[in-house]
Structure 1
Amino acid sequence: MTTLTFNAYYTLIAAVLVLLLGSWLVRKIKFLQDFNIPEPVAGGLVAALVLFGVHTVQGVNFQFEKPLQDAFMLVFFSSIGLSADFARLRQGGRPLVIFIIAVSAFIIVQNVVGTVMASALGLDPRIGLVAGSITLTGGHGTAGAWGKDLEAAGVQGAITLGMACATFGLVMGGLLGGPVARRLIRGKPTPGLAGIDDSKPAAGDQEVVFERPHQQRLITAESGLQTLAMFAACLAFSDIMFKVAQGTFFQLPQFVWALAGGVLVRNGLVLIFGVNMFDRAIDVFGNIALSLFLAMALLSLKLWELAGLAVPVMFILAAQTVVMALYATYVTYRAMGGDYDAAVLAAGHCGFGLGATPTAVANMQALTDRFGPSHKAFLIVPMVGAFFVDIVNALLLQGALKVIAWVS
């Protein structure tokens, strides 16, 4: 069998071409727009199918530069940490803390459902984590990161399966949030749209990092250099801690240390030195890194490895969808107060509990465009979905893997 190897330069070129293809597809196909399918995923899946066809017909394998992909992954998770401002916790107050607790509990539920069903279907229970919070709460970026570590631990096809599950979650998260919230809203008072001037921002609105990847941002050479210095500090921290923690209780995947480094760097600079963080630059670098990482991960998919997993995993994902709807209805909604804001928050939880934060925001926008504003939901969901859930998910997944190893 012939293997075509792409060095770092050609891997980067291929990834950029995938992103350009994805951008064109999303512009042209309404379905991709309606369900907020990311451009790297749209272009990457098409590229993966093409490479699968070439492999099937010609027997050719494609090998892309792995260290480059890993570097962009670490930059992306560093950007999440650098965007996690503890000062924003005070803005959200008690409702934010309650929502974080509800979301954290659901991550545990999601992983229990996934691992129990995987074991019952005769699969490796770690497959249940891939069809659990790794991909559904975590999204494509987390799927690629954990997939890499799981494949190294012997779970064949974890990255490929993760990308498929994450894409399923994006679609179902967009489909589920609206119906769940509309059922909860039925017969209850709503703010309405009277007197709202869409040309003026609501009081307390803030720029949501990662939610507006196409928004124009003014970045100077100085701010870009300062941001790169912070990323370098995060990468150095992750490299040191990953090596130091090997064989200890604190042994974690390197991307978790990159995320933790970002949290420490950002909040240390803000709280100790009073630095005014330039979130726009962090946002841009993070989005670029995520896009390139996903493009490279999807180029490296081996779709033929999924043949034996497709049917049992679909059973798990169907169950996860039902569990999400029930949890949002009977736990998230009630925990957040059982009012209109709680219904919008439940729709948002469906969005990032199965898909991603942009899906959550799209769900909430569809509701507020019809029934009226929910400033509480738009303050809480982006903070939890884009920042805190990744930290909580990483810690809970590490614990879940230790439990599975202990039980096995």
Structure 2
Amino acid sequence: MKVSLKDIHAIDVHAHPYLANREPYTGDEYVRQLSLAVIPNEIPQNYKRVHKQPFPGSNMWVQILIQRLAKYFSCEPTLEAVVEQRNKRAIDFKTYTRELFQDANLSGIVGDFGYPQPPLSKKEYRELCGVQIWEIHRIEPVMVRLSGECKNFAEFVDSYRRDLAEALKKEGMVGLKSIIAYRSGLDITPMNEALAQEEYEEFKGNSRAAVKNLRDYCLHIAMEECSAANKVMHIHTGIGDGEVVLPKASPSFLLEMLRDKKYRDTKVHLVHGGYPWVEEAAFIVSILPNVYMDISLQNPFSGHGVKRILSQVFEFAPFDKVMYGSDAFTMPEMNWLGVHLFKECFEEVLNGWVDSDYMDPETAQVIGEMVLYRNFENVYQDFLKEGK
């Protein structure tokens, strides 16, 4: 018996909504939509490219997507042929999206509607995808909005706390999300109201400013509100787009805060599993009972690296602490390949464990199901019926 995940449904615990492209994509535009880069790749006018040569800026993730879409579309595995077929099918974007989701057996998404801004409609995204949608409430847009509405720090803090508490009461809202790694880093200091207040005026004048004490303070409030509501605090860890504060994006910087006794019972979800510091994230979830991680962004954007990453993660991470994710953010192909690539790579890892006599096939099969959906159902079991 071989482990097979092909027919197992998946729940994507971290992805973003998107809209249909208004005009057909060129090859250049399509590759840009697939990239994490903040600054677009500029192709020299005299750049020479031979047949089958990957498009400038393409990496293994893009190459694998082109290869797999070519098989799905039954066309030549070139960017030009794939984009041509994609443009034809995506004219009816809803049908195209739902076909991809059904082909991948993707049954649900935890959506971060904090990107893009302004937020897209949860109802419209649910109608587009045809799957269950849960939601997380991103704290940074709340901070920006309230800084423009509140005259002083005391009013800001009161309004901010009230906003988070009210958001967590909404049906289908499973937690809060912070991207503090993009602004001031993950080395969170103890809660200090006086220092936070000193930086409030600077934040009002520049919402992208580091203002570390204020941001740390607001993250602590978010942790407190998640604790009070028995919801999950999602924290971006590891790489992202080019704006991330990379030297302070490792999940290891969160350890001091996560070890705080007042957060002992707070559920924390390490978004993106700290990639490329996945071993550190795996260690953290192994020692802290209410901290979990997902395999989003690194899957599918590390391409062939997904197999290596899955093997590394489970060197330390308990099987019930890791969840599937994609971080899809511009188009359904990201969700689609995320599931297929993850399943293929995890099957290889699991069958390797069976061949090495680490476990029997039945156990390996269940572990695959745990990561694809069972762990999500256990961690978020109180909110499963709220996904709409």
TM range, smaller chain: under 0.3
TM-score by length of 2: 0.24
Q: Which has the higher strand share?
A: 2
Q: Which has the higher helix share?
A: 1
